[in-house]
Amino acid sequence: MTRGSLFGYEVVSELPLRRLGDGAAPRGTLALRSATKPIEPGQGPEVHRVEQAGTTFVLERVGGALAAHCSATGSYLIDAGARAVWAGPAGKPDDAWEHRVVSMALPLLAAELGDAVLHASAVARDGRAIAFAGPPGRGKSSIAAAASAFELLGEDGVALSDGDTGPLAWPGPRGVRLHAGSRKATRIADAGPARRPATLCALVLLGERDPERLRIELVEPARAVPQLVPALIFGGSDRLAAAFADAARLAASTPVYAVRFPDDLDRLAAALEDVASEVGITERGSARS
């Protein structure tokens, strides 16, 4: 049995999970259980499908639960009523399987329970957080790896709940997934992850890297909403209206910026400090725009 924290919940797992944190868990308990029978596809209407890099990922609505089928790592039954995920790994649980659990299955459970969950990396300083959202390849993991001067809230997922002064960003999985050859593997960061939530003070939409310099642009809320929806983790087409509502609330409560980091990774840590200063979570320096 493995115990740890994720998104402010205590997670109790029948399967080994090394990426759970040891932070505050005031939001109750979630369970990860080993499926006692196969989680077969075709048991309910399909609400999402994507094929990428040879992997097929499908979501189906099965009664009040959500079944997720990943051709590479196996199937998962996500049940908000039971506050649990049943996992049927395809083979022995490994790093890629655990990544699916902590960046997809448990985030989907948090979303089903009412959180707005972003496919994003996030860092914090002095209780103020900034989240970096964007499609694969835009640098979320690289930003997390370069954020040694910040508390790391998460590399590939951040759950948001309502707070007194704005959205609260809860610490996500430990570790950063970086390329090792042609594939990604998880590296547990030397610096410990954040142990408590931080107020989300800025949302960054990551653009393609700039060959020369850091570029920052404030995005009007009306323009930000349709760009935020694809960055949300949610349970498929039957949850689309709720996802738009989450995006609208975030855009109304939190400044949204479009940022292009410099292409030179050696400059990423300094550029991250500049972004943090520009969006107001630190007082160091001023951004180059």
| Confidence at residue 185, expressed as pLDDT on a 0 to 100 scale | 60
SS3 assignment for the chain:
CEEEEECCEEEEECCCCCCCECCCCCCCEEEEEECCCCCCCCCCCEEEEEEECCEEEEEEEECCEEEEEECCCEEEEEECCCCEEEEEECCCCCHHHHHHHHHHHHHHHHHHCCCEEECEEEEEECCEEEEEECCCCCCHHHHHHCCCCCEEEECCCEEEEEECCEEEEECCCCCEEEEECCEEEEECCCCCECCCCEEEEEEEEECCCECCCCEEEEECHHHHHHHHHHHEECCCHHHHHHHHHHHHHHHHHCCEEEEECECCHHHHHHHHHHHHHHHCCCCCCCCCC
Residue 10 has pLDDT above 50, yes or no: yes
* Percentage above 70 pLDDT, the chain: 92
Quick one: pLDDT band at residue 148, thresholds 50, 70, 90?
confident
| Confidence at residue 265, expressed as pLDDT on a 0 to 100 scale | 82
| Confidence at residue 94, expressed as pLDDT on a 0 to 100 scale | 85
| Confidence at residue 124, expressed as pLDDT on a 0 to 100 scale | 94
| Confidence at residue 216, expressed as pLDDT on a 0 to 100 scale | 95
Full set of structural domains in the chain with CATH = 2-113 (no CATH), 118-279 (3.90.228.20)
Residue 50 has pLDDT above 70, yes or no: yes
Q: If you average pLDDT over residues 35-57, what whole number do you get?
A: 92
Report pLDDT digits (tens) over 247-284: 999 999 999 999 999 988 889 999 999 999 998 887 64
Token pair recorded at residue 202: 């800025």
Report the range of poorest mean pLDDT among 12-16, 165-169, 182-186, 269-273. Answer: 182-186
